[in-house]
Amino acid sequence: MAAKSRIQQEIRQTKPFSTPFEEAGVALLRTSDQLQRRLAATVEPRGITVQQFNVLRILRGAHPEAVPTLEIATRMIEQAPGITRLLDRLEIKKLIQRVRCKKDRRRVLCTISAPGLALLAALDRPMLEALRNCFESLPAGRTRQLIRLLDDLREGLHETEP
């Protein structure tokens, strides 16, 4: 009988995975969850979620230009079905501003506010440290290899989207 893989041990799975694809999928989801929780622990004390942090980063990258709501949604790392509610929460916290487009009233344009920029500036170093800590077990070459493997996987996923 083959030794249990690390992921099998972590999730206390007694039976072997039926395929390497199943094992890889479970391992990737488990890893993603752990990474997400580490990042959440970094931003949540500042009153925002990881998704809200992502929106603020998108808007800071475009600053001082405004970004249409649907453009933000497509640029999100984790796709958010409730982008409007996400933006509502950021606007309530005065971290972003929204205005209707004068040329097309159906479009809403978003910009990051001064408090939003200040919050991101305060989070830049802690987020970099959190990510560095998450990946410190991988040498630089293996980190670059991981990036390439994940790029290849995402490319394959895009080609097969329903």
Answer CATH for 27-159 from 2.20.25.160, 1.10.510.10, 1.10.10.10, 1.10.3720.10 = 1.10.10.10
Write the pLDDT tens digit of every residue in 63-107: 999 999 989 999 998 887 789 999 999 999 999 999 987 777 678
Three-class HEC string of the chain? CCCCCHHHHHCCCCCCCCCHHHHHHHHHHHHHHHHHHHHHHHHHHHCCCHHHHHHHHHHHHHCCCCEEHHHHHHHCCCCCCCHHHHHHHHHHCCCEEEEECCCCCCCEEEEECHHHHHHHHHHHHHHHHHHHHHHCCCCHHHHHHHHHHHHHHHHHHHHCCC
Question: Domain extents for the chain?
Answer: 27-159
Confidence band, pLDDT 50/70/90 cuts, at residue 160? low
Write the pLDDT tens digit of every residue in 3-52: 788 889 898 898 989 999 999 999 999 999 999 999 999 999 999 999 99
